[in-house]
């Protein structure tokens, strides 16, 4: 479907029709499409300096972004590595974890991750997200990653404690067997995105962190989706009250304007890469590392968060999500309702669940015909609007979700 322009939460198709973007264009848009403030910052930067080598050179937009971003992150997460997409931010985190162990004289090459996790499409990210089933063609090329069940939870769930305990038992067994071979555990904190908008509790992340710390295994938070306000806090690690060793950020970093990513690590990790020998260095760099336009967009976006009270807007969206999901309570097709920050999700009780559920593409068409860009993940219907979305438009989206549930219900009869 050709799209020609966007403004706020709205997109205009080549057919002249308007569509409400309720998935933030694959989870990247934060303040809204074509936000004039970000657009101006990019234009001004483009007229000054568009790109410069970032090996042995630096520039003010990168320095400013590093300063402002690390001031927002939990203390200790103070060293940034720039790249240009979420997969690479994860890839870099895995490479740092691996080389960190090597640089300290005790190589570790195994990793831990979660069933249903998605971390991107490069080889390390694929290995960590292998259970998604997206990467079967490359199975034989992947390195060792042991997976744990993800203790997903939702409103009114009473068995989450048991699920968490089961996952931790499996973790303990892995640690018993391979404890000193694990470089890191990788997790999407609080919300697994592509795996179906599955939530977990902060308590679980805290339990993970505690077990890993005592064995010197690094904790990597993949906040490529959860970063920049999606969970209601600036970062999921804030909301969870758990400080990781490394964090991967991308999608919302530039407000969705430009491809850019950062991997942020703790000072002690950074220090393990310092020295006279080249072998100690992280020999990883990209042509467009710390692109100036991306940095300018990201700095403008962070300013907007402060000036526009963006997190209060997310809280207002969250309140409407909760109200409308309550209104659906008792609907025969509704399973596992859940809300966190700007994200609301529910599972449809259909016979063929999972990512390949036929109902997904059917619903996508149903929504598009009504001017709503909503793209279910199989049988999981979710909303993740840009934060500028007005209450009235959000209610319109929920009216569409209600109509969709009626439609699916009628077809089943
Ligand atoms: C989208 C996503 C990625 C990959 O980011 P790309 O920019 O698409 O490479 C990694 N991790 C998570 C959690 C994501 O949602």
Q: What is the pLDDT of residue 131?
A: 86
Q: What is the pLDDT of residue 132?
A: 82
Angle at 119 between CA 209 and CA 375, to 5 degrees: 120
CA of 27 from ligand 1 middle (Å) equals: 9
Confidence of residue 411 (pLDDT cuts 50, 70, 90): confident
Residue nearest to atom 10 of ligand 1 (CA): 119
Domain ranges, ordered by start, for the chain: 3-31+309-412, 39-306
Tell me the CATH class for 3-31+309-412: alpha beta
Per DSSP, the three-state class of 210 is helix
Q: What is the pLDDT of residue 179?
A: 87
Residues 76-89 pLDDT 10s: 999 999 999 999 99
Q: What is the pLDDT of residue 393?
A: 98
> Is any ligand 1 atom within 6 A of the Cβ of residue 86?
yes
- The preferred substitution site among 87, 92, 124, 259 for testing ligand 1, maximizing ligand atoms within 8 Å of CB, is 87
Q: What is the pLDDT of residue 352?
A: 77
Neighbours of 210 (CB within 10 A): 11
Q: In this model, does residue 288 exceed pLDDT 80? A: yes
- The preferred substitution site among 90, 91, 131, 377 for testing ligand 1, maximizing ligand atoms within 8 Å of CB, is 90
Give the atom of ligand 1 at the shortest distance from the alpha carbon of 85. 7
Give the atom of ligand 1 at the shortest distance from the alpha carbon of 192. 13
CATH number for 39-306 (one of 3.40.640.10, 3.30.910.10, 3.20.20.140, 3.40.390.10): it is 3.40.640.10
Q: Which H or E run includes 263?
A: strand 261-266
DSSP-assigned letter for residue 198: E
Percent pLDDT > 70 in the chain is 100
Q: What is the edge-to-edge ordering of all strands in the sheet holding 334-340?
A: 334-340, 343-348, 380-383
- Please say whether the beta carbons of 246 and 267 come within 8 A: no
Average pLDDT over residues 9-23: 97
> 3-state SS of 340-375?
ECCEEEEEECCCCCCCCCCHHHHHHHHHHHCCEECC
Q: What is the pLDDT of residue 229?
A: 98
**Inter-residue long-range contacts of 317-325, CB under 8 Å, 24+ positions, other chains counted:** 317/341, 317/342, 317/385, 317/387, 317/389, 317/394, 318/232, 318/342, 320/391, 320/394, 320/395, 320/398, 321/383, 321/394, 324/395, 324/398, 324/401, 325/155
Strand ranges, E, within 14-69: 18-21
Residue 214 burial by Cβ neighbours in a 10 Å radius (0-12, 13-18, 19+): exposed
> Has this prediction a pTM greater than 0.75?
yes
Residues 327-354 pLDDT 10s: 999 999 999 999 999 999 999 998 877 7
Q: In this model, does residue 13 exceed pLDDT 90? A: yes
CA of 158 from ligand 1 middle (Å) equals: 31
> Is any ligand 1 atom within 6 A of the Cβ of residue 116?
no
Give the atom of ligand 1 at the shortest distance from the alpha carbon of 121. 9
């Amino acid at each position: 479907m050709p799209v020609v322009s966007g403004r706020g939460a709205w997109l205009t198709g080549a057919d002249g029709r308007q569509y409400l973007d309720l998935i933030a264009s694959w989870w990247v848009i934060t303040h809204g499409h074509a936000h004039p403030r970000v657009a101006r910052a990019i234009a001004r930067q483009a007229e000054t300096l568009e790109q410069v080598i970032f090996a042995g050179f630096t520039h003010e937009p990168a320095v400013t972004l590093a300063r402002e971003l690390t001031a927002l992150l939990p203390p200790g997460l103070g060293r940034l590595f720039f790249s240009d997409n979420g997969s690479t931010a994860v890839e870099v985190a895995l490479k740092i974890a691996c080389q960190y162990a090597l640089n300290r004289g005790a190589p570790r090459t195994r990793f831990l991750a979660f069933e249903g996790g998605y971390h991107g499409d490069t080889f390390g990210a694929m290995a960590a997200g292998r259970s998604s089933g997206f990467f079967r063609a490359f199975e034989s090329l992947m390195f060792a990653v042991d997976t744990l069940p993800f203790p997903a939870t939702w409103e009114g769930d009473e068995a989450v404690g048991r699920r968490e305990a089961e996952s931790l038992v499996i973790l303990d067994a892995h640690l018993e067997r391979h404890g000193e071979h694990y470089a890191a555990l990788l997790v999407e904190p609080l919300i697994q995105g592509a795996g179906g908008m599955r939530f977990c509790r902060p308590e679980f992340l805290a339990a993970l962190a505690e077990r890993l710390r005592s064995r010197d295994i690094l904790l990597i938070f993949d906040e490529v989706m959860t970063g920049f306000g999606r969970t209601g806090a600036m970062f999921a690690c804030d909301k969870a009250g758990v400080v990781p060793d490394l964090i991967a950020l991308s999608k919302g970093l530039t407000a969705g304007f430009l491809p850019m990513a950062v991997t942020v690590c703790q000072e002690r990790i950074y220090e393990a890469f310092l020295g006279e020998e080249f072998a100690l260095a992280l020999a990883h760099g990209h042509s467009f590392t710390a692109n100036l336009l991306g940095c300018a967009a990201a700095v403008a976006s962070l300013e907007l968060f402060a000036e526009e009270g963006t997190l209060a807007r997310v809280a207002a969206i969250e309140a409407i999500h909760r109200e409308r999901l309550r209104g659906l309570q008792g609907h025969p097709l509704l399973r596992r309702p859940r809300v966190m920050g700007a994200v609301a999700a529910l599972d449809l009780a259909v016979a063929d669940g999972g990512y390949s559920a036929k109902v997904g593409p059917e619903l996508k068409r149903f929504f598009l015909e009504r001017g709503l860009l909503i793209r279910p993940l199989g049988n999981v219907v979710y909303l993740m609007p840009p934060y500028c979305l007005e209450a009235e438009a959000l209610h319109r989206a929920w009216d569409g979700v209600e109509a969709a549930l009626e439609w699916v219900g009628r077809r089943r009869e």
